[in-house]
Amino acid sequence: MAEKTSTGNFFEDFTLGQTITHATPRTLTSGDAALYTALYGSRFAVQCADSFAQKIGYACAPLDDLLVFHTVFGKTVPDISLNAAANLGYADCRFVNPVYPGDTLSTTSEVIGLKENSSGRTGVVYVRSTGRNQHGGVVLEYVRWVMVNKRDPESPAPETVVPELPETVPAELLGSAVPPLQIEGYDTTLAGAPHRWGDYTPGERIDHFDGITIEEAEHQMATRLYQNTARVHFNQHSEKDGRFGRRLVYGGHVISMARALSFNGLANAFHITAINGGRHVGPVFAGDTIFAWSEVLAREEMEGRSDIGALRLRTVATKNRSCLDFPYKAGDATFDPSVVLDLDYWVVMPR
């Protein structure tokens, strides 16, 4: 019987160069967009209003970038991380084409690195995952690495290959999901704030002020919407005896919450064009209240584009602690115990 039920891949099941076509292509619709709004309350005008998006040159309001990310990511879980002990990191994540309601997304992954841990019980798998639309066009690409359990600690270790990954996505690769814009049609009043790209300065820090409490039903509905099957988010019967005694909130849910909160202070950062790296610093549970703040790390022009410019941001999310005083690291390395997310990414803004 066991051969019909999938219990996921173990470290030994991955080989360098292996390509995996993940199951269940998914048509995203205005229904998913509405649910996304209900889950996070995001208010970026380009994604919320067809009329606003069309006035600047989109076919209609594109779907939220993180809805696209979570959908593409969710498909990889049954093959890559069902037996993961930890999600270690993301890198080189680029949003390549816009996604509109009605588009169907599917995902493939390539194994680009393998490294057994010294314990012999786990290993790190590096995959480059690619999301494509129904026309075969790439919409999203990213690398993640995950610590995966071995089925058998005695099985031999593969040759160690650790891919070289860019610390940041270079500015020349940004913005490809944004069509050429009639930026004079961009109404900052309707968008929610007057501050354009040029108004932000590297080093500037912004408290996003509000806090939102997460409920079990919310993160479960979100994570199922993304068809992410990681068990730790759904099964209280087993988690009550697990590491935390309770269900863990999907890290991507926290990213989306922080992004929605960041509207207050970054209202014109209408598109995430790349994610340089991200760490889920601490676990989040239902009942936790998420706050966020951001720092401008860099401001870059984009080749051939006078309509938009790029800002590199660090957004930090905390739980159960206001971000008025920008909590981050205590000393050089240790995070403030309230910090749950440290995300380094590029947004675009109208110039």
Contact positions with a copy of itself (CB under 8 A) in 270-309? 287, 289, 291
The nearer residue to a copy of itself, 93 or 191, going by C-beta atoms, is 191
Residue 220 interacts with a copy of itself (CB under 8 A): yes or no: yes
* Pairing of the two strands 205-207 and 104-116: unpaired
Closest listed residue to residue 136, CA positions, set 111, 110, 108, 94: 108
Distance (Å, rounded) from C-alpha 117 to C-alpha 249? 26
The nearer residue to a copy of itself, 34 or 162, going by C-beta atoms, is 34
What is the CB neighbour count within 10 angstroms for residue 325?
Answer: 11
Residue 348, by phi and psi: left (phi above 0), alpha (psi -120 to 50) or beta? beta
Using CB under 8 A, pick the residue from 59, 86, 102, 167 that binds a copy of itself.
102
Using CB under 8 A, pick the residue from 115, 121, 231, 305 that binds a copy of itself.
231
Residues 106-125 that bind a copy of itself (CB under 8 A): 106
Residues 234-253 that bind a copy of itself (CB under 8 A): 234-238, 247
Using CB under 8 A, pick the residue from 99, 111, 254, 266 that binds a copy of itself.
266
The nearer residue to a copy of itself, 34 or 86, going by C-beta atoms, is 34
Smallest gap, in angstroms, from Cβ of residue 319 to a copy of itself? 8
Rounded (10°) angle between helices 30-40 and 216-225: 150
Residue 104 interacts with a copy of itself (CB under 8 A): yes or no: yes
Smallest gap, in angstroms, from Cβ of residue 349 to a copy of itself? 12
Smallest gap, in angstroms, from Cβ of residue 326 to a copy of itself? 9
The nearer residue to a copy of itself, 59 or 190, going by C-beta atoms, is 190
Closest listed residue to residue 285, CA positions, set 238, 259, 320: 320
Smallest gap, in angstroms, from Cβ of residue 183 to a copy of itself? 17
* Pairing of the two strands 329-330 and 305-319: unpaired
DSSP string, 201-268: -TT-EEE----EE--HHHHHHHHHHTT---GGGT-HHHHTTSSSSSPPPPHHHHHHHHHHHTTTT-TT
Using CB under 8 A, pick the residue from 18, 43, 196, 336 that binds a copy of itself.
43
Number of residues binding to a copy of itself, judged by CB under 8 A = 84
Distance of CA 335 to the CA centre of its chain: 20
Distance (Å, rounded) from C-alpha 351 to C-alpha 197? 5
Smallest gap, in angstroms, from Cβ of residue 176 to a copy of itself? 23
Smallest gap, in angstroms, from Cβ of residue 346 to a copy of itself? 18
Smallest gap, in angstroms, from Cβ of residue 265 to a copy of itself? 4
Residue 59 interacts with a copy of itself (CB under 8 A): yes or no: no
Say which residues have a Cβ less than 8 Å from residue 156's Cβ, sequence separation at least 6.
none
Dihedral (CA of 287, 43, 227, 163) sign:
negative
**Cα distances (Å, whole numbers) of residue 255 to 262, 284, 315:** 10, 11, 9
User: Mask of contacts with a copy of itself, 146-185, x by CB under 8 A?
Assistant: ----------------------------------------
Residue 189 interacts with a copy of itself (CB under 8 A): yes or no: yes
Q: What b/e string do you get for 54-67 counting C-beta neighbours within 10 Å, with b at 16 or more?
A: ebbebeebbbbbbb
